[in-house]
Amino acid sequence: MKRYLLILLCLATALAAEPADSSEVQTSSDSPASNVATIREDRDYLDFSNMLIPITHEASMLSKYGVRNHRLHRGVDVRITMGEPIVAAFPGVVIVSKFNPGGYGHYVLVQHDNDIQTLYGHLSKREVKVGDKLLPGDIVGLGGNSGRTTGPHLHFEIRYGKYNIDPETVVDFPHWELTEGASRISKSDVITAHRKMQAKLKNEDYIVKEGDTLESIAAWFNISVMSLCRTNNISPENPLKVGQRLRGSSP
Ligand SMILES: [Zn+2]
């Protein structure tokens, strides 16, 4: 913990010493720790240059953000060892801390300033509960392989409102450093990239699995049940068959 406090102190000092371009800087007075370096934003850009990387070492990428096996992989998978500390990237408040056996496993979702959230998944142990206020570097949990995984890894997401940000636009995990562009992430690029990914997903066939419902598949495509039925020329009364292919939009 001392190490992170030190990093934090350095960040705070660097921030204080920065020349006065603070006209662009918005700080929220009701932020959980408004005296601590956090995400800055202006009208068009988000500044992640004060982010703390949630793992403490260089790490190879196991899976990228994007469409994978007909699903949108909303974050990145990064190689870690069992039980290592996973730390909060920014000051924030824990809004979810729970176990989802079929998905993220033990996971923690943290709300930060400026509509940013970060998610830490597949933990072996959660160290925080809903409502906890965190500082960057606070341990949210221990790395693991809970939920749907094939081995220990951290699943890490960055969200801006309802949009996902590809974490690789901000963090270079193999070199354990922030990217050159991290200080200037264009909001409109984030929204465009997210929409492109949604469109790509809709053009993929979805193959029905055991336990799927029209509602769950419609939610996956981000469309209504009615439009799912219309696009695929099926009736809501007909049962789904495992292996059946469904589309999210007309070809
Ligand atoms: Zn993942």
Taking only the tens place, the pLDDT of each residue in 48-73 is 999 999 999 999 999 999 887 667 88
Residues 153-193: tens digit of each pLDDT:
999 999 999 999 999 999 999 999 999 999 999 999 999 99
What is the percent of the chain where pLDDT is above 70?
84
* CA 213 to ligand 1 center in whole angstroms: 23
User: How far is the centre of ligand 1, averaged over its atoms, from the C-alpha of 78 (Å)?
Assistant: 8
Surrounding residues of ion ligand 1, Cβ less than 5 A: 77, 155
Fold of 206-246: Membrane-bound Lytic Murein Transglycosylase D; Chain A (3.10.350)
Give pTM, 2 decimals: 0.71
Q: Where are the domains of the chain?
A: 61-187, 206-246
Measure 63 CA to ligand 1 centroid, in angstroms. Answer: 7
Ligand 1 centroid to 21 CA: how many Å? 37
Model confidence over 84-127: pLDDT tens digits? 999 999 999 999 999 999 899 999 999 999 999 999 999 999 99
Three-state secondary structure call for residue 199 = helix
Residues 242, 191: Cα–Cα separation, whole Å: 34
Q: How far is the CA of 128 from the centre of ligand 1 (A)?
A: 21
- 75 CA → ligand 1 middle, Å: 6
Distance 161 CA to ligand 1 centre (A): 19
pLDDT at 19: 38
**Homologous superfamily in CATH for domain 61-187:** Glucose Permease (Domain IIA) (2.70.70.10)
The confidence band for 137, taking pLDDT boundaries of 50, 70 and 90, is very high
Report whether pLDDT(3) > 70. no
Q: How many angstroms separate the alpha carbon of residue 76 from the centre of ligand 1? A: 5
State the distance from the centre of ligand 1 to the C-alpha of 188, rounded, in angstroms: 24
Report the separation in Å between the CA atom of 92 and the middle of ligand 1, taken as the mean of its atom positions: 22
Our CA dihedral for 105, 111, 117, 121, rounded to 10 degrees, sits at: -10
CB 165 within 8 A of CB 185: yes
Euclidean distance between CA atoms 165 and 144, whole angstroms: 23
φ/ψ of 102, rounded to 5, equals: -90, 0
